[in-house]
Structure 1
Amino acid sequence: MNKIRITKQFDFETGHALYGYDGKCRNVHGHSYKLSVTVIGTPIEDQNDVKYGMVIDFKDLKVIVKDEIVDKFDHATVFNKNTPHVELAHELEKRGHSVILVDYQPTSEMMLVDFAQKINAKIPSSIKLHSLRLQETGTSYAEWFASDNE
């Protein structure tokens, strides 16, 4: 059977700040992110399976990505937990804001590494995560490919 790639796209709004950066992005700001998740696999051949002909049901992929990424990152502010921004993060949390503290600089590149780990931990073993694309602005995006990380 042929290998097929399928892609599901997601949108979410997230704020962040890049501690130590030498430009405007050191300030707290946000982006309208567009995340494309591509998996690869063989369509199910069992005609009695309700998912017959699918690599994975788009709905099932949506549940994984929404649970692990979109629902957590949407309208949250992400800070590296090892920077002075942590004081601001705690103050925002006290005021009821959604804050995520991570072990990395919250760039698109590092967010993709995090997202790949989260998705890989949840997708069925019958399929593989092929690639991720995180668009930060209308003209800027980062990509992660499994083949580059083997």
Structure 2
Amino acid sequence: MVAQNPLRYRALPVSVVKQFTFDAAHRLEAYEGKCAQLHGHTYRLEVEIKGHPDPRGLVIDFNEIKALVERVVLERFDHRYLNDEVPFNTTAENLVVFLYEELAKALRQTPQATDVNLERVRLWETPTSYAEVQREDIIRRETE
């Protein structure tokens, strides 16, 4: 009998994480090595959103995260030449900060996503290499 039982277990903060992949090409500027040449990756993007579960027990619906990432990232970058899409060198480090900022801005404008924060974005460039930015680093930088 769900109606008689609480739908939320406890009101502790919870992280919700969803992963995505997209394919894109790029080349690195001011770099000596193979990556200075045009090449591509199957990027894996990991998005973590943190908040307190609502009365139903949900922090944010996974479908809302999917729609957000599709709109902000995948429609813009999947099967594209990244150097044409952004005005900076397309290192994993630069890209992950940019993606964090864009996703955080879009999340703040999503009415269903109240009382949640974009906690972390991780961008895998290869199966063994990733760059990551965390909310605490952004907050620390903004207060310096």
Normalised-by-shorter TM-score class: 0.7 to 0.9
What's the TM-score, normalizing by structure 1?
0.79
> What does residue 20 of structure 1 align with?
30
Question: After TM superposition, which residue ranges in structure 1, 4 or more long, deviate above 3 angstroms?
Answer: none
> What does residue 31 of structure 1 align with?
41
Residue 95 (structure 2) aligned to one of 108, 111, 114? 111
> What does residue 76 of structure 1 align with?
80
- Identity, in percent, stands at 35
CA offset digits 1:66-114 (Å, max 9, x no partner): 10001211100111xxxxxxxxxxxxxxxxxxx42x1211111111111
Residue 136 (structure 1) aligned to one of 90, 105, 125? 125
- 58-67 or 124-133: bigger deviation: 124-133
The root-mean-square deviation of aligned C-alpha atoms, in Å, is 1.0
Q: As a proportion of its length, which structure holds more helix?
A: 2
What's the TM-score, normalizing by structure 2?
0.82
CA offset digits 1:100-137 (Å, max 9, x no partner): 2x121111111111111111111134100110111111
Query: Partner amino acid for 2:47?
Result: V
Aligned residues: 124
CA offset digits 1:20-71 (Å, max 9, x no partner): 21111111110010000001001111xxxxxx21100000011001100012
> What does residue 148 of structure 1 align with?
137
In 2, the alpha carbon distance for the partners of 1:43 and 1:14 equals: 35
In 2, the alpha carbon distance for the partners of 1:18 and 1:57 equals: 36
In 2, the alpha carbon distance for the partners of 1:63 and 1:118 equals: 14
Residue 8 (structure 1) aligned to one of 11, 18, 24? 18
Query: Partner amino acid for 2:33?
Result: G
Residues 1:128 and 1:77: Cα distance change in structure 2 (over 3 Å): same
